[in-house]
Every structure is written in structure tokens, then in C-alpha cells.
Amino acid sequence: MDVRLHLLDGVVDYADTLGYVLGHLSAGVKSLSANLDKVPEDLRDEVAEVDVEIIESLLGSAFVVCQAQITAVTKAALDIQKLARAEKIEFKAYGGQAHEVRALGERCDTNFSKVEVVWELGNYFKHREEWPQSAWVKPSPKLRHTIPVLLAAGLQPSSNGNLRAGSAALGNPDFDKMSVFFDIVNKWGVAVRDATYRALSKSPPERD
């Protein structure tokens, strides 16, 4: 068990790499805003329309990058849960499903955690073109958790600004402060780690 806990510690600390990547994506959004000020007035609307599409893609990329860190923490946590169950150790921090781990941490609203929103925004960016319009009203079993999370975050069917809406719901309304996403995922990872330790009657390690 100690080896599994050490692996979880390492994965949680790996979040610093996520911050580095998100910093570069933030810089991309900032550069678009700066360049728009240099565009002639008669071309500004046309250029702004293109910039909006790029910002949506940069935000989507940020959420997908966050998914990599969320996946790593979730896998390490579920490995511990599985081992505890195999060794007949009582473990009540979370169940054996990935969505139960993602449900921990800071809340976006009373129903969903912020990490659940980040996760589903990444799924939206990757798969939205595969979803029929009817999925927003009557989700398939595969989307039965995804759609309610997205609707709670302010997304709308057929909107071309859904990733910006999700970003604003998470506390980044100007879209260039993706450190907000890092903080959400990082704090969630610590919350998962701490809950895991406490469920095993151990003291969580102190962070620098």
C-alpha cells in the first residue's frame, strides 16, 4: 500500500508540468488580444471572428491537457481503492468508478465539482461533432453524465462560444488566465490524495 501511496504523491506533484503547458496556451490568447489592437478598424470585426475560433480551440486544448493530469490522479487513486478492497481494508473516500473520484474537491455548483466540468469540457471539445442535436435533450447512456454537467456550466446546443462559456463558469471570463484551470486541477489532486490518506487512517504528507 505504501508504494501505491507514493505513486499517488508523485502524480499529484506532477501537476506543475500542467501549469507550464497552460501558461503557454494563456500566452497565445493574450497575443491574439494584443494583435487585434493593431488591426485596421475596417478589418477588425473580420479578424475578431477568426480570433474567437482560435480562442475556442486554445481553451479546448487546455481542457484536454487538464484531462491528462486528471486521468493520472484518478488511476493512481483507483489502484489504491482496488488494493484496499482486495486486502479487506475499509475504504470510504470514494467508490471504484472514475467519476466518483472526479466528483471530489471544489464545487462548480451543488451538483458538480469543478474538475467534473473541466473533464466534460475536454470531452465536448474532442467529441462535440459526433453528438446529435437530440443528445442535449435526451442524452444517450454514454452522455448521461456529460450533458448535465455541460448544461450546468452554461453551455448551449449549437453555440459557437461554449468553451468560452465553460471557461467563464470556472472563473476565467477573459480566457487568458488558464492558471485558474491549473489551480482547480491541482487543488483537486491534493483533495483526492488527502482523502485517500485519511481513509487509510494515515496523515497526508505536507506540501512545500
Output the CA–CA distances (angstroms, integers) from residue 52 to 2, 46, 49, 160, in the order listed: 48, 10, 5, 9
In a domain, 35, yes or no: yes
Residue 115 forms part of a structural domain: yes
Q: Is residue 204 part of a domain?
A: no
Closest CA to 189 of 71, 62, 110, 97: 71
205 lies in some domain? no
**80 pLDDT more than 60:** yes
**Choice among 15-29, 40-54, 192-206 with the minimum mean pLDDT:** 40-54
Q: Which domain holds residue 61?
A: 2-199
Does residue 113 lie in a domain region? yes
Q: What tens digit of pLDDT does each residue of 92-108 get?
A: 999 999 999 999 999 99
Q: Which pTM does this prediction carry?
A: 0.92
Q: What's the pLDDT at 51?
A: 82
**pLDDT at residue 207 in the model:** 65
Q: Is the pLDDT of residue 36 over 80?
A: no
Structural domains in the chain (count) = 1
Question: Could you tell me if residue 64 is inside a domain?
Answer: yes
Query: Is pLDDT above 70 for 46?
Result: no
Per the prediction, the chain carries an average pLDDT of 91
Dihedral-angle region of residue 158 (phi above 0 means left; psi in -120 to 50 means alpha; beta otherwise): left
The reported pLDDT for the residue numbered 150 is 97
Average pLDDT over residues 117-145: 95
User: Rounded to an integer, what distance in angstroms lies between the CA atom of residue 71 and that of residue 14?
Assistant: 12
* Per-residue model confidence (pLDDT) at position 177: 95
Q: With helix as H, strand as E and coil as C, how does the chain read? A: CHHHHHHHHHHHHCHHHHHHHHHHHHHHHHHHHHHHCCCCHHHHHHHHHHHHHHHHHHHHHHHHHHHHHHHHHHHHHHHHHHHHHHCCCCCCCCCCCHHHHHCCCCECCCCCEHHHHHHHHHHHHHHHHHCCHHHHCCCCHHHCCHHHHHHHCCCCCCCCCHHHHHHHHCCCCCCCCCHHHHHHHHHHHHHHHHHHHHHCCCCCCCCC
pLDDT at 133: 92
- Does a structural domain hold residue 18? yes
Residue 195 forms part of a structural domain: yes
Would you say residue 44 has pLDDT above 60? no
pLDDT at residue number 47 = 58
**Average pLDDT of span 108-113:** 95
pLDDT of 32 reads 84
